[in-house]
Amino acid sequence: MMSKGRVCMKIAGRDTGICAVIDKDKKKQKVLVAGPKVRKRWVLPAHLEPLSKTLDPKLTEAKLMKELEKISREFEQVRLDPLDVLAIKARSRK
């Protein structure tokens, strides 16, 4: 489920509510996320909500960011309420 190319939404930290794509997996303990509005860094999978979309991991970084920007625009239109983010966090901890 948390594989390279999976589009996720950050639900914790400074970048909460922003879409990112998983770049690398480090033995299922942490994943490297990247995106046009997200700092490229290692995060815990519990801080991510996987979305139904995936991107081709063979794309170049520039093309990957363009595709992620399109997906991000879709999700920005349907902005989450802070209470919804808390509900997502509660579900992810179970």
Which residue type sits at 50? P
The CATH number assigned to the domain holding 45 equals 2.30.30.30
Does the residue 67 lie in any domain?
A: yes
DSSP string, 17-69: T-EEEEEEEETTTEEEEE-SSS--EEE-GGGEEEEEEE--TTS-HHHHHHHHH
Q: pLDDT per residue over 70-84, tens digit each?
A: 887 776 655 555 666
Count structural domains, the chain.
Answer: 1
Does the residue 1 lie in any domain?
A: no
Does the residue 54 lie in any domain?
A: yes
Q: pLDDT per residue over 26-55, tens digit each?
A: 777 888 888 888 888 899 988 998 888 888
Does the residue 17 lie in any domain?
A: yes
Domain boundaries, position 52: 6-92
Classify 92 as helix, strand or coil: helix
Hey, what are 48's tokens?
């991510």
